[in-house]
Amino acid sequence: MYRAPVEDIAFTLKHVAGMKSALDAGTFGDLGEDLVDAVLGEAGRFATDEIASLYKIGDEQGAVLKDATVTTPPGWKELYRRWIDGGWNALSGPEEYGGQALPTMLGVAALEMWNSAAMAFGIGPTLTMGAVEALDKHASQELKSKYLEKLVSGEWMGTMNLTEPQAGSDLNALRARAEPVGDGTYRIFGQKIFITYGEHDFTDNIIHLVLARLPDAPAGTRGISLFLVPKFLVGDDGSLGARNDVFCSGLEHKLGIHASPTCTMIYGDGFGGAAPGAIGWLIGEENKGLACMFTMMNNARLCVGMQGVAVAEAATQKAIAYANERRQGKAASYTDTGMAPIVHHPDVQRTLLTMKALTQTARAISYCCAHAIDLARVSAGDEAAHWRDRANLLTPLAKAFSTDIGVEVASLGLQVHGGMGFIEETGAAALYRDARIAPIYEGTNGIQAIDLVMRKLPLGGGEHVHGFIGELATVANAVRTSNLEGFGRTADALDKAFGELSEATRFLQKLSADGRSDEALAGATPYLKLISLAAGGAYLAQGALADQGRIALCRFFAENLLGEVSALKDRVVDGAESLAIAGKALISA
């Protein structure tokens, strides 16, 4: 069973992502290492002892829909109550509404543990936290006063309603409509699909954030507005009133995360005899809803990245434990009698070390993204702008690379289990099934790569990314001059990777500047992996410099996995023409 790796999480936060230096500088006020360690320790205990024990029943029984009501698996409702009673939902919420206002870094570290223990559980509060951020930044004071306190505490949960049957990633096709009533409210009509925790029994109210079009709104995404639509209407005193005209008409039967209800939501169908039209309130300005929603989506993208890290960690733990128990064949390193535990076989060792290195790499990237978000929030002027650019640069890496790694590591974990991995009782297959959704939702990983190349490489006039590469290069120099034993060819491998990264970056920037966007986009996905591997190598080396016990894994990554950067650079620079030719054949087939 999963055990939260509190020590490794704390180390990465402090010595790789930058939390220790921030704490020492007083960046987060009175927050100190003692409190950080206490929060992480208790979060780890709760994840290990409370959440993980309910994972299997959640996967096997799932959520059930009957008469428009969703029932979660046995024990899950009570688990959620214990979770919010512990104050976990309020960890990074605004103090004004009962939150603890702790750094994003600490929040995503706890989120990793929730999702490792049960991804289907951890995903629900993720959306509530995103709704809190969107309302805090964009809603009227009246809406904040009525809804934020209970959302921050977790007494109510929030959702994000974007997708429609004809409008997935392309929100230009969105059809849900909102009709002004004249009293400050709107009537919402339409269907939304794939709505996570759109209906459940955790809380007595659910606050939906819904994208819809006003009458005569401009076409495309310029004509989308954002509305708050509660399941139950809320009185001025905070009491619950009549049921709103919104209901769940169906649950998706999914590959994984079975305990998380993925709902089809119907707005404005006259549910329960109500007057047609779900009552909603505008968030922000008319026709500016996408900007408001992106506040929530950017939060969600980092959180989804943490799901990738989380599943990778759980799969790695499970595979290492199995490899130490399962006996098969002979191995030169095994001197006892009988068959050797398979962990003694070099190929199994290679697989396990790959899992471990990729997991730590994805964790470091995601925590560094959270660190940039925190510093952007507490800084001012040019420094704040620098950290905003850094957070924007790292967000697609944190989301896409980490979730790709989650799938890859879960697959490798299944391979370590051999035939038993394909059998549900071991739990290896369940992790693989859970992981597979994360590269798809909150903007597919292909969209993240497009965002990186077309919107993030131009940041700071195109120089921010090169400053980032320069920072990474200083780590290679520190390794070379450290005189520490065991690094092998790590410094040379890092230098080569950063050279390849710099070349690929300037190549893509020139294509974009020359108006050759299709050629640039052809290399977007390999480029995202390239920059992630290069950055991850530097982060592993940074950790190894701080703790010599980490040198061996750092060297393994540098000498066994980092070489892929060269092939990825070739795909970025030379792959566009062949892709275009073969793509035409696909179109005409």
| pLDDT for the residue 6 | 98
CA 315 – CA 370 distance, rounded (Å): 23
What CATH number does residue 217 fall under? 2.40.110.20
Q: Backbone phi, then psi, for 262, in 5-degree steps?
A: -105, 110
| pLDDT for the residue 219 | 86
- As a whole number, mean pLDDT of residues 150-178 equals 90
pLDDT tens by residue, 376-391: 999 999 999 999 999 9
* Structural tokens at position 285: 């300005």
In a domain, 506, yes or no: yes
- As a whole number, mean pLDDT of residues 533-542 equals 98
| pLDDT for the residue 38 | 98
- As a whole number, mean pLDDT of residues 523-538 equals 98
Q: Are 512 and 576 in contact (CB under 8 A)?
A: no
Q: What's the structural domain count of the chain?
A: 2
Helical (H) or strand (E) element with 288: none
Average pLDDT of every residue of the chain:
95
Confidence of residue 479 (pLDDT cuts 50, 70, 90): very high
- Residue predicted with more confidence, 292 or 158: 158
Q: Are 302 and 398 in contact (CB under 8 A)?
A: yes
Helical (H) or strand (E) element with 519: helix 517-522
Helical (H) or strand (E) element with 61: helix 55-61
pLDDT > 70: what percent of the chain? 100
| pLDDT for the residue 553 | 98
| pLDDT for the residue 587 | 87
**Contacts with 289 (C-beta within 8 Å, 6 or more apart), sequence order:** 211, 212, 224, 225, 226, 227, 283
**Of the residues 270, 286, 302, which one is the last residue of a structural domain?**
286
In a domain, 571, yes or no: yes
- As a whole number, mean pLDDT of residues 473-493 equals 97
Residue type at 436 in one-letter notation:
R
- As a whole number, mean pLDDT of residues 203-224 equals 93
pLDDT tens by residue, 58-108: 999 999 999 999 999 999 999 999 999 999 999 999 999 999 999 999 999
* Structural tokens at position 297: 């989506």
Confidence of residue 494 (pLDDT cuts 50, 70, 90): very high
pLDDT at residue 314 tops 70: yes
- As a whole number, mean pLDDT of residues 205-232 equals 94
Q: Is 133 a catalytic residue?
A: no
| pLDDT for the residue 75 | 98
Range of the domain at 481: 445-582
pTM for the full predicted model: 0.96
| pLDDT for the residue 167 | 79
Task: Count the Cβ atoms, other than its own, within 10 Å of residue 29.
Answer: 9
In a domain, 332, yes or no: no
Per annotation, catalytic residue among 133, 408, 442, 500? 442
pLDDT at residue 585 tops 80: yes
| SS3 (DSSP) at 194 | strand
**Of the residues 269, 286, 303, which one is the last residue of a structural domain?**
286
| pLDDT for the residue 171 | 76
| pLDDT for the residue 221 | 82
pLDDT at residue 166 tops 90: no
Cα separations (Å) of 236 from 145, 193, 233? 10, 31, 10
In a domain, 274, yes or no: yes
In a domain, 282, yes or no: yes
Confidence of residue 589 (pLDDT cuts 50, 70, 90): low
- As a whole number, mean pLDDT of residues 287-311 equals 88
Q: Are 244 and 268 in contact (CB under 8 A)?
A: no
pLDDT tens by residue, 95-131: 999 999 999 999 999 999 999 999 999 999 999 999 9
* Max CA separation in the chain (angstroms): 83
**Of the residues 253, 286, 319, which one is the last residue of a structural domain?**
286
| pLDDT for the residue 579 | 93
Pairing between strand 246-251 and 262-267? antiparallel
